Structure formats: structure tokens, C-alpha cells
Amino acid sequence: MTDSLSQHRHISFTAHYTGYIWYQMGISHPAFATSKGKFLAKLLHPLESWAERHVGGSMRTTLKQRHQMIDEHLCQLIEQHPQLQVLEIACGLSPRSWNFRQKFSEINYRELDLPDMAKIKTQALQQIDQHAPEVLTADIFSKELDCIFQMFDRNQPLVVISEGLINYFAQHMLFTLLKGVTEYGQQFSEIHYLSDIYPEPVKNKLASFIWSSSRLLKFMSRSAFTFHFKSSQELQHFFQDAGFDQIEVQQPQRYFAEPRQPNPTPEQDEHLGDLVWMIHAVKKNSV
């Protein structure tokens, strides 16, 4: 559907890196590990190791955190709604669809990305499972997203997933995407949105270094990469304005604590200094 020369096409190089890191971590399949990803992982290894020692985390540590949090929330949603349908946008070389089809053989799990990446991902999936569905393409900022939603059963809830995506867009573009999800999803009884997000690093002692690294990523991806929110309250208000009823923000320090700490109320919540958060937003409709 969407033009292969999308203005967002340069973001795709990060999919090769993340795909290879997940493979290194043992949570992915060799089919999703590309030579480009291996090169980027080797190139960035010294910087990542330095960041883990001095910043308290790196891109690859946040990759593990965000992936685990989203996976666990998706499992919880499937337990609550056995007929849950999944649309993962900007899927890249994530192993999630493959993993979840193995766990839940009847699940309707579709993926979407730009044409070039969709082709690469489809070929990788079909190396593992010849019956894996083709990865879809669409302009997620247009009514093409509605056409994708119409491919799903409106009588069952739908969850939209994005990972490593929304920081690449200016805030007005992010709002357009969220508004599209809530508006085009209003014929479903429930529409869920699971995503990670990188907040402004206001609590990190090396915030200036992180800002400098983000500018480098912005340049390399030729995108509008930025940190949108300083607090979970700002994020929650933004998502509410886009039409969501319930917004949960998970911060790794609290999420991975032993024993796991309960979620605070919005009034009690504060930025704990984590480099990445996870969002679970819900809109319940009267259909």
C-alpha cells in the first residue's frame, strides 16, 4: 500500500541491529539475524559496554527490558481474552510473532512494516514456517491503517503493538497515530495499545551524554527522534487526549523489583531514571 520511498524508511537500519541483539540474547531465531545487524552490533559493542558501566544501561539493555515487558503484558491479555487479535506495526526483525504463534497456535497475529522491511521479514518468517502470513504494508498515518483494521474480526478485541518506534516521530505525528488507533478501532469492543517509549532522561547523571547520543541517532535515521515526555503524568494526559480511557506506565526499576512493586497512582508516580518505559493504553467501546 505505502510507497517504498516513505520518509520514515531510514529508521529501518535499526531493525537489523535490534534483531541481531535479540538473537545474541537467545530469544530469537537465526533467520532474524542479518549480516547488517551483526556488523552494527560489533560496531556499537564498545559504546554499549561503556554505557552499561557508566550510564547504568545501554540500548541493548533497554531492548531486553522493553521486549520482556511487552511480551509479558501480551501474555496477560491473551489469558484475559483468549480470542485476542494482534497487529504489530513497524515489526522489523522482532521474533515476537514467531514466538507467540508457537505458544498460541490459533492466534491471529499480523505484522506490518515498510515494503522493503516487510519483504525481508516475510522471507525470514517463511524460512521457519512456510505457513506464516505475509507481512503487511500501509501508511500508519493515513486511512490505510483503517483498511488494515478491517482485516480483523470486529467481534474480538484487538491489540496494536509497536516497539522501538514512537520516539522517531515528532509529537504531532505520534498524536496522529494514536488518534488513528482509537478512531479506527472504535468498532472493536476493546482496543489495546502496547508500546515502549524513551522518556526524557531527566533523572540520569549523564543526561547530556544521552541527549548527544539521541542526536546522533536522529541524524543516522534521518528522523525526528526525540524524547517526548518528562513524566508519566505528561504521557498519560497525552494518550487521554488521543482517546484512550486507561493508560498504564511501567518503569523497569519497579516492574523488575523483587517482590514486584504495585503500580502507584498517577499522583504518586515519578520518573525513576529508567531509560525506557512500557505503555499499556486501553479504549473500551460501546459496540
Residues constituting the chain: 287
CA neighbours closer than 13 Å in the CB half-sphere of residue 89? 23
Domain ranges of the chain: 9-284
Give the pLDDT score at 150: 97
Per-residue pLDDT tens listing for the chain (287 residues): 444 444 444 445 578 888 888 898 898 999 998 888 888 878 777 777 766 676 666 677 788 899 999 999 999 999 999 999 999 999 999 999 999 999 999 999 999 999 989 999 999 999 999 889 999 999 999 999 999 999 999 999 999 999 989 888 889 999 999 999 999 999 999 999 999 998 887 765 554 544 455 444 444 444 456 777 889 999 999 999 999 999 999 999 899 987 776 666 655 578 888 888 999 999 998 76
pLDDT given for residue 223 in this prediction: 47
What is the CATH topology of the domain spanning 9-284? Rossmann fold (3.40.50)
Query: What pLDDT shows up at residue 221?
Result: 43
Distance between CA 27 and CA 29 in Å, rounded? Answer: 7
Q: What is the pLDDT of residues 73-121, one digit of tens each?
A: 999 999 999 999 999 999 999 999 999 999 999 999 999 999 989 999 9
Q: Which three three-digit cell numbers place residue 66?
A: 522493553
Between the CA of residue 142 and those of 13, 30, 106, 181, what are the distances in Å? 23, 34, 30, 11
Question: 103-131 burial string, b = 16+ CB within 10 Å, else e?
Answer: ebeebbbbbbbbbebbebbbebbeeeeee
pTM for this structure? 0.86
Is 46 buried (19+), middle (13-18) or exposed (0-12) by CB count in 10 A? Answer: exposed
pLDDT of residue 87: 98
